[in-house]
Structure 1
């Protein structure tokens, strides 16, 4: 029933900015089409320190980045010319396709002084037919994301289909992505619609088949498993899953079904063929040149 328990690992994505990295994991590269997951925060940022946490312009290919805030505020800018502030309850869905660059900055001193930043970032690999699509970006407001309540349970469908719910978020393959909040004692099951499923415990703890699992862990289940989750205290979960796409290669911020395409993306970034955001083009993250890592080991990714 339970295939694997993944413990989040601490990773640095820049000066002053550390995250808990869940995916990819050496024993489990993907869950459905989800190939990457980071949990940033919660952290309170002093306004004078905010700039040190900015994620400078950096590139992506072959994936969609999905940004979801539990607290705080972030400004997104990308090479299509989009500038968008994301707030809790919204979704920023950016499809890189053949190539995009974007930044994420913490710019509002009032927000930084009054709130705590907490963000969940995932990457969704694209089907082969969409890997070279034109880059796009969409911000979805809370009214586009249906919520559901039951005894001791609240949940928001971030993307895809689950429990008979669906929303307007455009995806490229069958998947589900859910933010769930459980009261102590609440019981919850995984959506049966998808063959690969798992959940990450943001806060609290859950009991599954007599074993208790604390925050900072992802549980991945075998196909056909029907586990019952019982919250042993107030708990926040991120559930995700979907249908597998086949093998994907990942290096830095690049994802592809072909190794040679990643090599091309490296050259494109170094030679300026992936444009910077027009309203954030004075600095950028250079291509990593970490020669100390074993062959095939990817350097730390940017946040999204």
Structure 2
């Protein structure tokens, strides 16, 4: 059988250091793969099984490139806010210090701005003490900003503070920035690892089970939908229209509709529908109003 096409995370070099997790009850991942879902065609349309592309599964490895006790970890949050940002910062801090025993963890403030010297955003050292309760707070303790910054300036700051591994928490723009930083690191032959942590409240990333912030978003819809239902019932032919986040995906809307039986119609981008016509949405809505005199629509 031909070798599968597995997209693997790039490595800085040969991993020679034993993981500190080997003394713990931890499952190690050594090149396992998960199938990539190609949205442009069904698997049944593929001519050969070898045409399926795979991605390497994330998880701890037995051997590491860096010696943890010499490592400085950097963390930065960029772009829009999302529930759970502080949870991620806390988890990275605790895991780095407690599980891997790294030398220190630095939090860079105000997104990629905090990695450019001219803005004078000095990093803060993150410890298990000053991050212990941050998961109970909204927003991000590291602040955020939008916009691209000069990759050379960012790398100069990383080198100045001796950062070996940089975790970038953010969405599309942030991860494009991570890619550009990696490309510039290659040009300058500097061995710094960049790990992108995808941030989206919409849960619209393939091949992951659930993005952080999604559950909080769905939970927050309960009162809004319930209030819309109460107001719709208070008027003859009242219609409660609730528009939820999702950009180009309907995960939040669909999950909220499943969780709250007050929803009568759920419209999502993934499922096309006609607005007008004999089987259009407006006709179905009118039938509902004639029968029950109210309706709740989630979009």
Q: Normalising to structure 2: TM-score of the pair?
A: 0.24
**Greater relative CO, 1 or 2 (CA 8 Å, sep 6+):** 1
Which of the pair is proportionally richer in strand?
Answer: 1
Which of the pair is proportionally richer in helix?
Answer: 2
Which is greater in Rg?
2
Q: Normalising to structure 1: TM-score of the pair?
A: 0.24
